[in-house]
Amino acid sequence: MLLNVNKARKVFGGLTAVNDVTFQVPEKSIISVIGPNGAGKTTFFNMITGIYKPTSGEIMFDNQNMIGLRPDEVTEKGIARTFQNIRLFGAMTTLENVLVGRHTRATTSFLDAILHNNNYKQDERAGLLRAKELLEFVGLLDKRDELAANLPYGEQRRLEIARALATNPKLILLDEPTAGMNPQETEETKHLIRRLRDEQGITVVLIEHDMRVVMTISDNVTVLDYGTKIAEGLPHEVRNNPQVIEAYLGRGAAAGEFGKTAEGGEAA
């Protein structure tokens, strides 16, 4: 297992946002985490990436304990992420955004930068080459000198992925990668996510609301509701799980009673 989360719990005051979730990610898989709004999916991501420290439980990545590491240390270990509401560096160019992602892998020190010595030159060159490669991979090479803030929405999402890839991750966490996209952009993103695994060999965990995406690309789906894992399994298993349907649609609908009566089916 690449990522092994054991009974992770996060409590904010009186609210248990994530409740003893156990979650495993095998290498080179695509795993989806789904659940209604407020189910604790993003909090779960934030625990894995070190933004929140779990109240209890353990998180092992690549057989290393991740609890207590700062987000930048987590990134250095090999977990990269994107954000639900895009968080690019708007005043920097597309290329620079990717170069920032390379921070932990670059070796230029303060003195190297001032002296412009060989280490600086080689490091910059290596960075540019890698950034070029990644921009080609997500199809943004011709936009490299545009400010990130000026890119259209779909391209900003792809740039976020390229930036995350620049950290050379083993695991990438995508927080709603297709949110706000039209069907064609969604299709392209799906394709890109598959290529992440197939071409770059990266394990992918995504939070996603679009069920067409979830059902078609996931090897495995985990469902959270009110912070608790209510189901886990292959996409078609999860789709037909009564608990999942109930979480999404409410109990009446899950029981198939909604719309049965002419009055509108208020029966619950």
Partner 1 sequence: MTQTSNDKSALLLASTVISGIVAYLMVLQKNNIESYFVTPVVMYFCLNLYFAGSWKVSRVAQIAVFVLVLAIGIPMIGFTNSLYLQVAVTICIFAAMSLGLNVVVGFAGLLDLGYAAFFAVGAYLWAIFAGSQANEFIAGNLFPLNGNLVFVFIPLALFVAAGFGALLGLPVLKVKGDYLAIITLGLGEVIRVLANNLNKPINITNGSQGVRIAPNPENSPLAFITVPLSEATGIPFFQMQLTMYYVLILVVVAAVAVFVTRLDNSRIGRAWVAIREDEVAAQAMGIPLVRTKLIAFATGASFAGAMGVLYAAVIGFISPNDFNFERSTQILAMVVLGGLGSIQGVIVGAAIVISLNQLVLVEISRVLQLVKLPPRFDPTQYQQLIYGVILIAMMIVRPKGLVPAKRNPAKLENLEHGELAKGVK
Q: DSSP letters of 127-139? A: HHHHHHHHHHHHT
CA 231 – CA 217 distance, rounded (Å): 18
Nearer to partner 1, 62 or 133 (CB): 133
What is the smallest separation between the CB atom of 230 and partner 1, expressed in angstroms?
28
What is the smallest separation between the CB atom of 69 and partner 1, expressed in angstroms?
11
What is the smallest separation between the CB atom of 201 and partner 1, expressed in angstroms?
14
One-letter amino acid for residue 215 of the chain: M
CA 90 – CA 202 distance, rounded (Å): 26
Q: Are 80 and 161 in contact (CB under 8 A)?
A: no
Nearer to partner 1, 90 or 259 (CB): 90
What is the smallest separation between the CB atom of 97 and partner 1, expressed in angstroms?
8
State the residues that interact with partner 1 by CB under 8 A. 49, 51, 70-73, 75-76, 80-81, 83, 87-93, 95-96, 99-106, 108, 110, 112-114, 116, 120, 122-130, 132-133, 144-145, 147, 163-164, 166-168
For residue 91, give the 3-state DSSP assignment: coil
CA 82 – CA 210 distance, rounded (Å): 17
CA 182 – CA 195 distance, rounded (Å): 20
Q: Are strands 203-207 and 30-34 parallel, antiparallel or unpaired?
A: parallel
What is the smallest separation between the CB atom of 265 and partner 1, expressed in angstroms?
44
Nearer to partner 1, 15 or 111 (CB): 111
Nearer to partner 1, 25 or 166 (CB): 166
Q: Are 207 and 183 in contact (CB under 8 A)?
A: no
What is the smallest separation between the CB atom of 3 and partner 1, expressed in angstroms?
17
Nearer to partner 1, 100 or 211 (CB): 100
3-class SS shares of the chain: helix, strand, coil, % to 5: 45, 25, 35
Tokens of 23: 């979650």
Nearer to partner 1, 80 or 231 (CB): 80
C-beta neighbour count of 127 within 10 angstroms: 22
